Structure 1
Amino acid sequence: MIDIPASKKECFFEDLHVNDKMTVTYQVGGGGHLDIDFWLADPDNHALAKHIKETTGTVSITAEKDGRHEFCFSNQMSTVVDKIVSFNVHGVIYVDSDDTVAPIEREIRALAAGLTAVKDEQEYIVVRERTHRNTAESTNSRVKWWSVMQAIVLFLVVAWQVYYLKSFFEVKRAF
Structure 2
Amino acid sequence: MTTFASFSSSRLVSVLLGLVLLAVQIQATALTSLLAANERSCYYADVDGVGEKVGFYFAVQSGGNFEIDYVVMDPDDRVLLEGVAEKQGDYIFTANKIGEYSFCFENEAYNSDKLLDFDIMVESEPRRILSAQQQPLKEHTSALEESTYKISGLLSSVTRTQKYFHTRHHRNFSTVLSTQSRIFWFTILECVIIIAMSLLQVWILKTFFSRSGSRRYKV
- Could you say whether these structures have the same fold, taking a TM-score greater than 0.5 normalized by the shorter chain as the test? yes
Structure 2 residue identity aligned to 1:102: S
Q: What SS does structure 2 have at the residue aligned with 1:2?
A: strand
Question: Which residue in the other structure is 1:174 paired with?
Answer: 216
Q: Which has the larger radius of gyration?
A: 2
Structure 2 residue identity aligned to 1:146: F
Deviates more, 1:98-107 or 1:25-34: 98-107
Match of 1:107 among 125, 147, 161: 147
Question: Which residue in the other structure is 2:170 paired with?
Answer: 130
Percent identity between the two aligned chains: 22
Match of 1:165 among 187, 192, 205: 205
Which consecutive unaligned segments of at least 5 residues does structure 1 have? Answer: none
Match of 1:83 among 86, 101, 114: 114
CA shift for structure 1 position 44: 3.1
Equivalenced residues, count: 174
CA RMSD of aligned residues (A): 2.9
CA shift for structure 1 position 84: 2.3
Q: What SS does structure 2 have at the residue aligned with 1:102?
A: helix
Q: What SS does structure 2 have at the residue aligned with 1:120?
A: helix
Name the TM-score, length of structure 1 as normaliser. 0.79
Q: Distance in 2 between matches of 1:163 and 1:21?
A: 76
Name the TM-score, length of structure 2 as normaliser. 0.65
Question: Which residue in the other structure is 1:34 paired with?
Answer: 66
| Contact 1:31/1:84 (8 A) holds in 2 | yes
| Contact 2:55/2:90 (8 A) holds in 1 | yes
Q: Counterparts in 2 of 1:1-175, with a 5 A limit?
A: 1-5=32-36, 6-65=38-97, 67-75=98-106, 77-78=108-109, 81-95=112-126, 102-169=142-209, 170-174=212-216
Moved over 6 A (4+): 96-100
Q: Distance in 1 between matches of 2:185 and 2:47?
A: 53
Structure 1 residue identity aligned to 2:166: V
Structure 2 residue identity aligned to 1:149: L
Q: Distance in 2 between matches of 1:17 and 1:26?
A: 24
Q: What SS does structure 2 have at the residue aligned with 1:37?
A: strand
| Contact 2:34/2:116 (8 A) holds in 1 | yes
- Bigger proportion of residues as helix: 2
CA shift for structure 1 position 7: 2.6
**Per-residue deviation, residues 48-78 of structure 1 (Å, max 9, x unmatched):** 211223221122212233x125132233525
Structure 1 residue identity aligned to 2:163: E
Deviates more, 1:24-33 or 1:91-100: 91-100
Per the alignment, do residues 41 and 163 of structure 1 end up closer, same or farther by CA in structure 2, a change over 3 Å counting? closer
| Contact 1:75/1:83 (8 A) holds in 2 | no
Per the alignment, do residues 33 and 108 of structure 1 end up closer, same or farther by CA in structure 2, a change over 3 Å counting? same
